[in-house]
Structure 1
Amino acid sequence: MTEASARLATELAGGGPGRPRTRISVLRSGWPLMLRATAPLADTPATAWVGRTTDPARVHLAAGAAGPLGGDRLRLEVRVGPGSALVLGEIATTLLLPGTYGGRSRLDVRIHVGAGAALAWLPELVIAARGCRHVTDTRVVLEPGARLVLREEVLFGRHGEPCGGFRQRVRVETGGGPLYDQELGAGPAAPGWDGPAVTAGRAAAGTLLVVDPGRPVPDETAAAAFPAADTALMELPGGGTLFSALAPDTAVLRRLLDGAAARLLSRAHEPGGLVPAAV
Structure 2
Amino acid sequence: MTEASARLATELAGPGPGGPRTRISVLRSGWPLMLRTTAPLAATPVTAWVRRTAAPARVHLAAGAAGPLGGDRLRLDVRVGPGSALVLGEIAPTLLLPGTYGGRSRLDVRIHVGAGAALAWLPELVIAARGCRHTTDTRVVLEPGARLVLREEVLFGRHGEPCGGYRQRVRVETGHGPLYDQELAAGPAASGWDGAAVTAGCPAAGTLLVVDPGPAAGDGVPGAFRDPGTALMELGGGGRLLSVLAPDTAALRRRLDGAAARLLTCAQEPAALRPAGV
TM tier, smaller: over 0.9
Q: Residue 238 of structure 2 aligns with which residue?
A: 239
Q: Is the 8 A contact 1:193 1:199 kept in 2?
A: no
Q: Which runs of 4+ in 1 moved over 2 A?
A: 14-18, 189-196, 267-277
Give the drift of 1:218: 3.8
TM-score (norm 2): 0.94
Q: Residue 255 of structure 2 aligns with which residue?
A: 256
- AA partner of residue 261 (structure 1): A
Separation (CA, whole Å) in 2 of partners of 1:65 and 1:128: 16
19 and 258 in structure 1: CA distance in 2 versus 1, 3 angstrom threshold = same
Give the drift of 1:14: 3.0
Give the drift of 1:269: 4.5
18 and 230 in structure 1: CA distance in 2 versus 1, 3 angstrom threshold = closer
Separation (CA, whole Å) in 2 of partners of 1:120 and 1:9: 14
The two structures, once aligned, show a CA RMSD in angstroms of 2.0
Separation (CA, whole Å) in 1 of partners of 2:69 and 2:172: 27
Q: Residue 146 of structure 2 aligns with which residue?
A: 146
- AA partner of residue 216 (structure 1): A
Structure 1 segment 141-220 matched on structure 2, within 5 A: 141-188=141-188, 189-192=190-193, 194-196=195-197, 198-214=198-214, 215-218=216-219
Structure 1 segment 114-129 matched on structure 2, within 5 A: 114-129=114-129
Unaligned segments of structure 1, at least 5 residues: none
Q: Residue 135 of structure 1 aligns with which residue?
A: 135
Q: Is the 8 A contact 1:171 1:181 kept in 2?
A: yes
- AA partner of residue 202 (structure 2): R
Residue range with higher mean Cα deviation, 203-212 or 38-47: 38-47
Give the drift of 1:114: 0.1
The alignment partner of 2:19 has SS state of: coil
Q: Residue 26 of structure 1 aligns with which residue?
A: 26
Separation (CA, whole Å) in 2 of partners of 1:242 and 1:184: 15
- AA partner of residue 196 (structure 2): G
| Cα-to-partner distance string for 1:68-115 (whole Å, 9 max, x where unaligned) | 000000000000000000000000000000000000000000000000
- AA partner of residue 211 (structure 1): V
Q: Residue 74 of structure 1 aligns with which residue?
A: 74
Separation (CA, whole Å) in 2 of partners of 1:159 and 1:36: 31
| Cα-to-partner distance string for 1:133-179 (whole Å, 9 max, x where unaligned) | 00000000000000000000000000000000000000000000000
Separation (CA, whole Å) in 2 of partners of 1:22 and 1:206: 29
275 and 158 in structure 1: CA distance in 2 versus 1, 3 angstrom threshold = farther
The alignment partner of 1:200 has SS state of: coil
Q: Residue 14 of structure 2 aligns with which residue?
A: 14
Separation (CA, whole Å) in 1 of partners of 2:128 and 2:61: 19
Separation (CA, whole Å) in 1 of partners of 2:217 and 2:145: 14
Separation (CA, whole Å) in 2 of partners of 1:62 and 1:18: 29
Q: Residue 104 of structure 2 aligns with which residue?
A: 104
Unaligned segments of structure 2, at least 5 residues: none
Q: Percent of counterpart pairs with the same letter?
A: 81
- AA partner of residue 39 (structure 1): A
Q: Residue 47 of structure 2 aligns with which residue?
A: 47
The alignment partner of 1:13 has SS state of: strand
Separation (CA, whole Å) in 1 of partners of 2:185 and 2:26: 33
16 and 157 in structure 1: CA distance in 2 versus 1, 3 angstrom threshold = closer
Q: Is the 8 A contact 1:142 1:175 kept in 2?
A: yes
Structure 2 residue 265 is matched with structure 1 residue 266: yes
* Number of residue pairs matched by the alignment: 275
TM-score (norm 1): 0.94
